[in-house]
Amino acid sequence: MAKKLISSVALIFILASISFAQSLAVKPKKVIYTKDEIINEDPIIDKGDNGDAAAHNWDAVTVIYPQISGIDSLVAQNLEAALDSYYLQDSLGGKPLSYAELLWKKGQGLHDYKINYNDNGFLDITFHWKLMLGHLFEEFYTIVFDVNAGTRVMPQSVFIKTPGLVAMIKKAQQLDAKQAIAEMKKNNRAYSMCSFLKREFRGKFSARNLANFSISDKGITFIYNYNREHLCAEIYPKGRYFFTWKEVKPFIKPSGLFGNFIPPPIIIVQQNN
């Protein structure tokens, strides 16, 4: 008697090998820019003030540069140049500035970075500006780079069906906002000065925000940077919306840069005995 044996066979998920499979190393180098001189500190030694060497100098900008090694030298130079272009962005206009201009416009500041992901041909990095403009002001920019090309990964190269993707993220954002408003009502005395923020908590995520995301082997986090007022910074929604690769699979371009992150389908194999 023939029997049907139905077994679920999951394909082994292996990221495609790339020409830059060798280990990409990112080493920090500190440079302090002042109005009169440039001070190089390499390697970074003073950790007592969390690397903020400009903390006691009101006319200095401290930059922690990421230095790239472990890959072809020319590609490393191109990648460092791409990274540096984001260091020079003016927060007010989004245009590259010289450090002389940064000192003139922003005065004391710290610019450093954090590596979120460095594998499979991708470098996920968060840039951080910490400024003193009469009060503490901070900015964070998370960017994913294609190490092969030395360029930023843009939405059009990885996403499809963007209206549906935006709707899914916006739903998560609205839930995030409801929780923030509930917290304000619960602690009305503590957050009475922040009531004006409610109008900023409404879902604002749009297609142009898709360029701001972070990746890992587990999934992708879409980021919405609220224009945080420092005095009320703690009450703002987090603006971080995580989805597994399985959840975003319908919106990932199979032939795109993130195609290898998509979980493979489960194949049903039927055998007759």
What CATH number is associated with residue 56? 3.30.565
**Do 76 and 163 fall into the same domain?**
no
Which one of 120, 147, 174 terminates a domain?
Answer: 147
> What is the pLDDT at residue 54?
44
The pLDDT tens digits of the residues spanning 113-159 come to 899 999 999 999 998 877 665 556 677 889 899 988 888 899 999 99
How far is Cα 257 from Cα 26, in angstroms, rounded to an integer? Answer: 22
Q: Scan for tokens 């009450």, then name that residue.
A: 235
**Do 167 and 212 fall into the same domain?**
yes
**Do 141 and 171 fall into the same domain?**
no
The pLDDT > 70 percentage for the chain reads 64
How far is Cα 192 from Cα 254, in angstroms, rounded to an integer? Answer: 48
**Do 118 and 203 fall into the same domain?**
no
Examine residue 11 and state whether it is found in any structural domain, yes or no.
no
> What is the pLDDT at residue 5?
32
Q: Scan for tokens 């780079």, then name that residue.
A: 145
This prediction's pTM? 0.75
How far is Cα 138 from Cα 109, in angstroms, rounded to an integer? Answer: 10
DSSP 8-class letter at 217: S
Contacts 24+ apart (CB under 8 A), 165-168: 165/210, 165/248, 165/251, 166/205, 166/206, 166/207, 166/209, 166/210, 168/243, 168/251
Which one of 129, 147, 165 terminates a domain?
Answer: 147
The pLDDT tens digits of the residues spanning 178-205 come to 888 888 888 877 777 777 777 777 768 8
**Do 88 and 169 fall into the same domain?**
no
Examine residue 90 and state whether it is found in any structural domain, yes or no.
yes
Examine residue 97 and state whether it is found in any structural domain, yes or no.
yes
Amino acid at 175: L
Examine residue 17 and state whether it is found in any structural domain, yes or no.
no
**Do 104 and 210 fall into the same domain?**
no
**Do 198 and 244 fall into the same domain?**
yes
**Do 137 and 64 fall into the same domain?**
yes
Examine residue 13 and state whether it is found in any structural domain, yes or no.
no
Total tally of structural domains belonging to the chain: 2
**Do 167 and 142 fall into the same domain?**
no
Examine residue 271 and state whether it is found in any structural domain, yes or no.
no
Which one of 147, 177, 203 terminates a domain?
Answer: 147
- Cα angle vertex 135, ends 39, 133, to 5°? 50
How far is Cα 189 from Cα 183, in angstroms, rounded to an integer? Answer: 11
**Do 139 and 174 fall into the same domain?**
no
**Do 253 and 176 fall into the same domain?**
yes
**Do 213 and 247 fall into the same domain?**
yes
Q: Does residue 213 surpass a pLDDT of 80?
A: yes
Examine residue 197 and state whether it is found in any structural domain, yes or no.
yes
Q: How far is CA 209 from CA 20, 78, 145, 177, 204, in A?
A: 29, 26, 17, 17, 9
Q: Please report the DSSP string for 114-152 in residue order.
A: EEEEEETTEEEEEEEEEEESSSEEEEEEEEEEETTTTEE
Q: What is the domain range of residue 182?
A: 157-261
Least confident of 40-44, 55-59, 74-78, 163-167: 40-44
Kind of pairing, strands 109-119 and 60-69?
parallel
Examine residue 44 and state whether it is found in any structural domain, yes or no.
yes
How far is Cα 167 from Cα 180, in angstroms, rounded to an integer? Answer: 20
- What tokens does 163 get? 């209206």
